[in-house]
Amino acid sequence: MPPVSNETLLRYCTTLYEALDGAAEKHPIHGRVWEGKFTELFSTLRISNAHYAKVTTTLYELGCITQIRKGARGVTTMIAVHRPPSVEAMASAHGLQSRLTNPSAHDKLSQRVSVLEGRFQGIDVAKYIANTEARLKKLEAASRKDK
């Protein structure tokens, strides 16, 4: 794969993110969700397929998108769209770390927290789990009555 600068990578990531976000729809659990054929979408964006893995991995690592369902023959891909890539996020993830040194534990933890914050976007996890448990109990009770 030809090397790509951080500026070019950010442009590619932004292009892909905007295509996903532009076609995303509101989802009751995951916020905004894009559904379709991911590789076909990528091929329409005028980005070399040689950069596919780098662009998509970068968006996942920055917490911009999360794959909900992997596509296959006859099954579309579902991707939650969280936030656009930014110069700051790219700099902290790519530009300021030397390839000869490992990021500090603090830097790794900070990046992980940022990714989690982007994925949750105001979702109350405890309330979501309690709601799911209550719905499951109702389904189990209804199932027992049917027997």
* Model confidence pLDDT, tens digit, residues 89-130: 877 765 434 443 566 777 778 778 877 777 777 777 788 888
- Residue 41 in domain: yes
Q: What is the pLDDT of residue 127?
A: 84
- Residue 127 in domain: no
Is residue 81 within 8 A of residue 24, CB to CB? The reply is yes
pLDDT score of 72 more than 60: yes
- Residue 72 in domain: yes
Q: What is the pLDDT of residue 103?
A: 67
Encoded tokens for 12: 């590619």
Name the residue among 32, 133, 13 with its Cα closest to residue 84: 13
- Residue 22 in domain: yes
Domain that holds residue 104: 6-121
Identify the burial level of 23 via C-beta atoms within 10 angstroms of its C-beta, where 0-12 means exposed, 13-18 middle and 19 or more buried: middle
CA dihedral of 49, 52, 55, 57, whole degrees rounded to 10: -170
- Residue 87 in domain: yes
Average pLDDT over residues 43-61: 91
Is residue 79 within 8 A of residue 20, CB to CB? The reply is yes
Q: What are phi and psi of 69, to 5 degrees?
A: -140, 130
Average pLDDT over residues 44-66: 91
Beginning with the edge strand found earlier in the chain, give each strand of the sheet holding 31-36 in spatial order: 25-27, 31-36, 77-81, 65-69
- Residue 45 in domain: yes
- Residue 147 in domain: no
Tell me the DSSP string of 54-88.
HHHHHHHHTTSEEEEE--BTTB-EEEEE-----HH
124 Rama class: left (phi>0) / alpha (psi -120 to 50) / beta: beta
Segment 9-35, tens digit of pLDDT = 889 999 999 999 999 999 888 889 999
- Residue 30 in domain: yes
Total domains in the chain come to 1
Distances (CA, A) of 109 to 60, 67, 83, 104, 135: 16, 21, 19, 9, 34
